[in-house]
Amino acid sequence: MTGQSSGKMAEKLGIAYQTLNKYEKGHRTPDADFIHQLVIITDCNPGWLLTGEGRAFGIDMGVEKQMVSEALAVYEAANPQLTALIKKIEVIYNDGSPSQRAIVRGTVEETYDEVIKNKNKEDLNIGGVR
- pTM of the complete model: 0.42
Mean pLDDT check: name the lowest of 18-22, 49-53, 58-62, 96-100: 58-62
Q: 22: pLDDT confidence band, cut at 50, 70 and 90?
A: very high
Angle at 101 between CA 6 and CA 107, to 5 degrees: 125
- Per-domain residue ranges for the chain? 6-51, 61-124
Examine the pLDDT at 16 and tell me if it is beyond 80.
yes
Phi-psi region at 59: left, alpha or beta (left = phi > 0; alpha = psi -120 to 50) = beta
